Structure 1
Amino acid sequence: MARTGVLGYGGGPSVIPLIRHDAVKRYQWLSDEEFGEILALANALPGPIATKMAAYLGYKHRGTWGAVYSVVMHIFPSVLAMLLLLSAVNFLAGSRVVQGMIAGVSPVIAVMLGGMAYEFAKKGIKGLGITAGILFMLLALLLLEVFQVHPALVIVLFLGYGAVHYRAVARLRRKRKQDQEGGSP
């Protein structure tokens, strides 16, 4: 798993062929069919695919401690690289060159976040209508900035509203359809 952690650049989908090669071809821990089933299960669960695959392989061969060891060995190269890079950034933070680079990147990040917010707002208005969309945006702003409600709570609140709204709209559409079918000769 340490090897897949080092060589697997680009996230889970790029690591899966490496894990498959080691688990199925090289060490013959799994058959191709079992690997496919485990991959499907890993895709269905939340979180990084490669880490779940590593945990399964470790658990299958060495139990709970095998799962822990396998996951640690898989993520250790990335953790080590992040610590080294963070140390380098902290060491160079006082450098005028690094400060200039950060200052140059900040506006780009602001524009990207603004673009993302615009896309979300556009989808919200399209789904709810302009009046409700603007009202919900203002409500979210009020909750977050004026009342200092934690963002996770605001998200849960709006998810709850969305679930209720979705069910109500679906119920209304079913009723209209039944009325139309019942009213026609």
Structure 2
Amino acid sequence: MAEQAIPRQYAQLAWSMGKTGILGYGGGPSVIPLIRYEAVNKYRWMDDDEFGEILAIANALPGPIATKMAAYLGFRQRGVLGSILAIVAHILPSCVAVIALLTFVDFLSSSPAVQGMIAAVMPVISVMLGLMAYEFAKKAYQGLGKMMAVVFCAVSFVLLQLIAVHPAIVIVLFLAYGAVHFRIAAKLSKKKPEGADPL
């Protein structure tokens, strides 16, 4: 049974990462909900909490986020070979498609049919990103509390949109706070009188 399970895990990795490479239209962020479905919902390789942690780390590291997530999932399941398989399965469909369509780029870029396809798929991507944002906001609310979640959302908006701080710097700052959050919360809860709302 164990010998049969190993090829099956490789097949699952190749199939799931291949699907995300084919269907993940719109760049790295649009692929994350697809990867989450495969890893958390379908094959149950991890739970939502671990996926959120890995996504945060992947965001803080340089390079394409979807490829980093594929590499981690492959490594988690079957080590280095699984990581290589997951990466190849994820990027191969895009590479083949680009090579096959390279000679038709000029035609495709001006084709009304292609422009219509792009316009039609945009609402789908928006909804997928919105659902993912909602899930992570809910996790933040559960982990930080209502007040801190709202404050952190406001601070991140100011840093990213108004001050235009590099996203990697913002992520590192929030990771640094997250590392000591529960210690700070414990100290603040001790200072509050009994019966007061927790952080």
TM-score when normalising by structure 1 = 0.51
Distance 1:165 1:76 in 2: 37
The answer on whether the counterparts of 2:17 and 2:86 sit within 8 Å (CA) in structure 1 is: no
Q: 1:162: how far off? A: 0.3
Q: 1:42: how far off? A: 3.8
Q: Which has the higher contact order (CA 8 A, sep 6+)?
A: 2
Matches within 5 A, 1:19-38: none
Distance 1:117 1:75 in 2: 23
The answer on whether the counterparts of 1:42 and 1:52 sit within 8 Å (CA) in structure 2 is: no
Matches within 5 A, 1:102-121: 102-121=118-137
Where does structure 2 lack aligned partners over 5 or more consecutive residues? 1-9, 19-73, 191-199
Taking a change above 3 Å as real, the CA distance of residues 162 and 44 of structure 1, as seen in their structure-2 partners, is farther
Residues 1:155 and 2:188 are matched in the alignment: no
Counterpart of 1:43, as a letter, is: R
Taking a change above 3 Å as real, the CA distance of residues 162 and 81 of structure 1, as seen in their structure-2 partners, is same
Deviations 1:75-114 (A, max 9, x none): 9955641432562566412111111111011111111111
Aligned residues: 120
Note the aligned Cα RMSD (angstroms).
3.8
Q: Which protein is bigger by CA-based radius of gyration?
A: 1
Deviations 1:24-65 (A, max 9, x none): xxxxxxxxxxxxxxxxx94389988241799xxxxxxxxxxx
Where does structure 1 lack aligned partners over 5 or more consecutive residues? 13-40, 55-70, 176-185
1:10 counterpart SS class: helix
Q: 1:116: how far off? A: 1.2
Taking a change above 3 Å as real, the CA distance of residues 132 and 85 of structure 1, as seen in their structure-2 partners, is farther
TM-score when normalising by structure 2 = 0.48
Counterpart of 2:156, as a letter, is: A
The correspondence for 1:143, drawn from 155, 159, 165, is 159
Identity of aligned residues (%): 43
Taking a change above 3 Å as real, the CA distance of residues 78 and 98 of structure 1, as seen in their structure-2 partners, is closer
Partner of 2:143: 127
Distance 1:129 1:49 in 2: 38
